[in-house]
Amino acid sequence: MGQSPWRLALRRLRRDRIAVAFGILFAVLALMALAAPLWAEVAGRGPNATNETGQIAADGGAIDVVSLDGVPVGPQWRAEYLLGADANGRDVAVRLLYGARNSLLIGIAAALLTTILATLVGLVAGFYGRWVDAVARSALDVIWAFPVVLLGVALGTALALGGLTVGPIDLAAGSIGISIAVIAVVYVPYMARPIRGEVLALREREFVAAARAQGASGPRTMAGELLPNLAPTVVVLAPLMVANAILLEAALSFLGVGVVPPDPSWGNMIDAGTEKLVTAPHLAIAPGLMLVAAVLALNVFGDGVRDALDRRRGAAWGAERP
């Protein structure tokens, strides 16, 4: 029978050193994000601790953290204010790491939610077909037709004022739960369609027919036979969904919905930073670079995963589309 296809894929992946390197890069970024409170201890201030009128020691004297003209101090390359201060006197490096926490958390959680929803929808639609499929496809079409950013901003703005209560789930306005929900919904069609396509193809295969013949019910067939075979599709799409989610979160925060100040996220840090490019370019450059690093790492690693799992597939369109 030979080795399981998974083990083969894993071996192929390990040989792709670039993909592995970038996978490690992402892991390192995630670890840094987790270690944010540690760095806050070292730097001596929290992410939201403002300090407009403070001073720090420099060049043998004391300088303003934020000058009287509103110019924040640049990178100091030591524990306190390693990467400088922002307009409110907060420590950029500390915020960067806490921002990484928020951005990565939202990205991963949203991608997870998207995966669950998309798998459910794709499975049910592809398996049962007919009117179930029609309804599912129509719902997907409606979400697909909404311009992505507009939908995100629309939901984010509307919810920012009032919050959302769905059954037992109560999301206070501005909580990251809203960001996660919005981003997750937006990407469901991107994943549900390929999954549905897979299910349609798999449905006609012998092992499914065999299971039905043995009297397995619909849900059992779906869970037992189809789901495991969908795993490659899901695994290939997953890193790319996380990458997209992180980018969309940044875009929403940039537009003022999503993670709201004073809480940091890469997106809202870039937003604040772009207003200070003349006097404090480090405010925009630092979060931007970190964001690019994380997303690039995911994209390269995801590319390697796809190559490892199925060389025939080439570019799965719909995956890392902007």
Partner 1 sequence: MTRFVAGRLVQMVAVLFAVSVLTFLIFNVIPNGDPAQRMAGKSPTETQVEAIRADWGFDEPLAVQYVRTMEQVLGGEAISYFTQLNVQQEILAGLPRTLALALGAAILWMVFGIALGVLGALRAGRLSDRLLTFFALAGVSLPVFWLGAILSHFLGYQWGLFPNGGYVPFAESPLDWAYHLVLPCATLAVLFVGFYSRLVRSNVLDTMGEDFVRTARAKGLSERRVLLAHVLRNSLIPVVTLWGLDFGAVVAGGAILTETVFDIQGVGQYAAESVGQLDVPPVLAVTLFGAFFIVALNTVVDIAYALLDPRIRVGGR
Partner 2 sequence: MKAKSRYPTALALALSLAALLAAGCGSGSDDDGQASAGKQGGEITIAQGSQPDALDPAIAYTSNSWEPLWLVYTGPLTYERAEGAEGAQLIPGVATDLPEISADGRTYTFTVRDGLEYSDGTPVKAGDFEHAIKRVLNLESGGTYLFEGIEGATEYIEAGESEGDISGIESDDATGEVTIRLTEPDGSFSNVLATSFAGFVPSSTPFENQTESPPPGVGPYAITESVPNRQFVMERVEGFDIPGIPAGNLDTITTEIVKSPARAAQDVIDGELDYMQDPPPTDLAAEIRERHADRYKQWPTLSVNYFFLNQSLPPFDDEQVREAVNVGLDSTAIARLLGGRLSGSCNIVPAGIPGHSERDCPFGDPDGPGDIDRAKQLVEEAGATGEQVTVWANNDATRPEIGQYYTGLLNEIGLDADLRVIDGAIYFDTIGNQKTRAQTGLANWYADFPHPASFLQQVDGTTIQPTANGNYGMVDDPEINDEIAALLPETDLQSVADRWAALDERVIDRSYIAPYGSEELTTFMSDRMDFENCSLVHPLYGNDYSSFCLR
By the criterion CB under 8 A, which residues form the site for partner 1?
Answer: 18, 133, 137-138, 141-142, 144-150, 153-155, 157-162, 164, 193, 197, 200, 243, 247, 250-251, 254-256, 267, 270, 274, 277-278, 281, 284-285, 288, 291-292, 295-296, 299-300, 303, 314-315, 317, 320-322
Query: Which of partner 1, partner 2, none is residue 48 near (CB under 5 to 8 Å by kind)?
Result: partner 2
What is the nearest approach in angstroms of partner 2 to the Cβ of residue 155? 15
CB of 193 to partner 1, least distance (A): 7
Residue with tokens 């409110």: 88
Bridge partners for 91 per DSSP? 85
Q: Where are the alpha helices (DSSP H) in the chain?
A: 5-15, 17-34, 36-43, 92-128, 130-145, 148-162, 176-203, 206-213, 218-221, 227-254, 266-274, 282-309
Task: Tell me the longest C-alpha to C-alpha distance in the chain.
Answer: 84
Which of partner 1, partner 2, none interacts with 144 (beta carbon under 5 to 8 A by kind)? Answer: partner 1
Q: Which contiguous run of DSSP H or E holds residue 62?
A: strand 61-64
Helix (H, G, I), strand (E, B) or coil at 89: coil
In angstroms, give the least distance from the CB of 285 to partner 2: 15
End-to-end C-alpha distance for the chain, whole angstroms: 40
Residue showing tokens 């080795």: 3
d(C-alpha 225, C-alpha 228), whole Å: 6
H-run or E-run covering 63: strand 61-64
Considering beta carbons, is residue 126 or 258 the nearer one to partner 2? 258
Nearest 5°: phi and psi at 64?
A: -70, 135
Nearer to partner 2, 171 or 216 (CB): 171
Q: How far is the CB of 138 from partner 1 (least distance, A)?
A: 7
Q: Which does 250 bind (CB under 5 to 8 A by kind): partner 1, partner 2, none?
A: partner 1
Least CB distance to partner 1 at residue 69 (A): 18
| Closest CB 210 distance from partner 1, rounded Å | 23
Nearer to partner 1, 50 or 279 (CB): 279
Q: Which residues bind partner 2 (CB under 8 A)?
A: 48-50, 52-53, 66-71, 87-88, 157, 160-161, 173-174, 256, 260-262, 272, 275-280
